[in-house]
């Protein structure tokens, strides 16, 4: 089992008075992770994810990458934003959303592409588009997950998606019952 990024920082902070993740055996890691993921999944309003293998995105024709983003991450963000707009419309949500991304240096292509998308959406001439996504001027940012704790929950959900893409999707068993097994057997 590969260690999630949110756990690595606790392994590096040995001076804290709690047993770090890196000292736990495999079974305890799996158990704690499963409980944490369950708590997050039960207490979220909605979960939206998009997984795009970097290798495949890098092989995508240039004209598509020019439109949707050079980085596979940018494409995934755009797909998630589309789903957020659908959810906001269906749920009749009109309040703004603050979009927070994991820290990226200002010169990284990923950060430049994300910033460009949000700057275009939040421009005064695109007010109708900004309303679809709940974006306000300066309604996005990049934060360090060590300081902005909600990013750690997003890391857990991203880790779930990554695990799903590595274990379930290649087998051709990609259906909603595997993503949300608790909802399959519910009776109305």
Is 32 inside a domain boundary? Answer: no
Q: Cα–Cα distance between 157 and 165 in angstroms, integer?
A: 12
Range of the domain at 129: 45-183
The DSSP call for residue 16 is: S
What confidence score (pLDDT) does residue 1 get?
A: 45
Tally of domains in the chain? 1
Residues in the chain: 188
Position 179 in a domain: yes
pLDDT at 130 over 80: yes
Instruction: Assess whether pLDDT exceeds 50 at residue 186.
Output: no
Predicted pLDDT at 63: 93
Q: Is the pLDDT of residue 12 over 80?
A: no
9: in domain: no
For the chain, what percent of residues have pLDDT higher than 90? 32
Question: Is 34 among the domain residues?
Answer: no
Task: Give the chain's largest Cα–Cα span.
Answer: 55
Q: Classify residue 103: in a domain, yes or no.
A: yes
**Residue 27: pLDDT over 70:** yes
Q: Of the given ranges (69-73, 76-80, 125-129, 161-165), which has the lowest mean pLDDT? A: 161-165
Q: Which residue has the higher pLDDT, 4 or 89?
A: 89
Q: How far apart are CA 10 and CA 12, in angstroms?
A: 5
Average of pLDDT values for 169-179? 63
Mean pLDDT, the chain, rounded, equals 79
- 121 within a domain of the structure (yes/no): yes
């Amino acid at each position: 089992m590969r260690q999630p990024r949110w756990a690595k920082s606790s392994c590096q902070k040995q001076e804290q008075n709690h047993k770090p993740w890196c000292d736990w055996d495999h079974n305890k890691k799996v158990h704690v992770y499963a409980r944490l993921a369950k708590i997050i999944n039960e207490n979220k309003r909605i979960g939206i994810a998009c997984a795009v293998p970097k290798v495949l995105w890098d092989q995508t024709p240039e004209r598509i990458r020019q439109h949707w983003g050079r980085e596979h991450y940018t494409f995934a963000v755009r797909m998630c934003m589309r789903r957020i707009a659908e959810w906001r419309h269906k749920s009749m949500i009109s309040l703004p959303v603050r979009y927070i991304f994991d820290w990226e240096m200002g010169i990284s292509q990923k950060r430049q592409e994300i910033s460009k998308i949000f700057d275009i959406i939040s421009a005064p001439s695109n007010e109708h588009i900004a309303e679809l996504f709940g974006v306000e001027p300066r309604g996005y940012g990049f934060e360090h997950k060590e300081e902005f704790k909600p990013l750690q929950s997003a890391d857990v959900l991203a880790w779930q998606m990554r695990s799903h893409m590595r274990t379930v999707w290649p087998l051709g068993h990609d259906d909603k019952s595997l993503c949300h097994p608790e909802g399959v057997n519910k009776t109305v």
